[in-house]
Amino acid sequence: MNKKVILEDLGNKDYKEAWDYQEQLFQSIFDVKSKNRKESLETPTNNYFLFVEHPHVYTLGKSGDLSNLLLNEKQLKEKNASFYKINRGGDITYHGPGQIVGYPILDLDNFFTDIHKYLRFLEEVIILTLDEYGLKASRSEGETGVWLDVGTPFARKICAMGVRASRWITMHGFALNVNANLGYFDNIIPCGIRGKGVTSLNVELGQEKVDETQVKQKLLKHFKEVFQAEIISGELIETDS
């Protein structure tokens, strides 16, 4: 099993461009697995982890309800936002500046073949990262993602998740609000869940802006720990801070 994960930070990239790139990486892994199966080979498959920040965009998962988008086409343009129906699970969410999006494109045959365990592991990476900032985050039963003050009237989501897996190859991932403009969430019913708020790390810490590079470093550290992975390549300097 190859537990090496190739890191790439795409910077600020249009959602569709990043989605297309995910599909390319997904297909490259799929092709190797298919050839291995047909020709009885044991060629290792690659794993990838993409960091990216998107311009304002709303995405709707394959099981989502379009009525959870509260804007029409004209209003989307006025807010300089785009909209895509995509092939991940989950309902509607928002991506935009100040949000760290992580797309692990993994061959789970290299780790474990359990999609529920995979989601719980992704959540654990976020929970451990937020703990370093003094925030006690947790899961909310039946609601994928990471939350604060679960079980209280003040429950609020800080990280949304939605994934796709086929032949045990993953796509899409998590969106952690770090310095996000929370006003954009007012234009949707986030993840189709009514009556619960959304928050961002800078808001919780009472800071104007949180160092996003530092957050990425912490996310990578905990991803390595939780998945027992080795991060290779990429532009980020790994630290133990």
In the prediction, which pLDDT does 237 show? 36
Please give the average per-residue pLDDT across 171-195, as a whole number.
Answer: 83
pTM: 0.91
As a whole number of Å, the CA-based R_g of the chain is 18
Which CATH number is associated with domain 4-232? 3.30.930.10
Phi/psi at 88 (5° precision): -95, 170
In the prediction, which pLDDT does 106 show? 98
In the prediction, which pLDDT does 234 show? 60
What confidence tier does 195 reach under pLDDT thresholds 50, 70, 90? low
Considering only CA atoms, which of 212, 217, 61 is closest in space to residue 144? 61
Return binding residues for substrate: 88-95, 160-162, 173-175
In the prediction, which pLDDT does 241 show? 38
In the prediction, which pLDDT does 62 show? 82
Please give the average per-residue pLDDT across 146-164, as a whole number.
Answer: 93
Does residue 86 or residue 41 have the better pLDDT? 41
Q: How much is the mean pLDDT over the chain?
A: 91
Is 68:92 a contact under the CB 8 Å cutoff?
yes
d(CA 112, CA 127): 21
d(CA 21, CA 14): 11
Residue carrying the six token digits 């300097």: 237
From the candidates 25, 130, 191, 198, give the one annotated as an active-site residue: 191
**Can you read off the two tokens belonging to residue 146?**
């990471």
Q: Is 159 a catalytic residue?
A: no
What confidence tier does 92 reach under pLDDT thresholds 50, 70, 90? confident
d(CA 235, CA 10): 10
- pLDDT above 90 for 68: no
**In the 8-state DSSP scheme, what is residue 177?**
E
Least confident window among 173-182, 210-219, 225-234: 225-234
In the prediction, which pLDDT does 190 show? 61
Is 180:98 a contact under the CB 8 Å cutoff?
yes
Task: Map residue 77 onto helix, strand or coil.
Answer: helix
**Positive/negative CA dihedral, 179, 79, 164, 150:** positive
Return binding residues: 88-95, 160-162, 173-175
For residue 105, give the H/E element and its range: strand 99-105
- pLDDT above 70 for 79: yes
In the prediction, which pLDDT does 72 show? 86
Beta-strand pair 4-12/48-53:
parallel
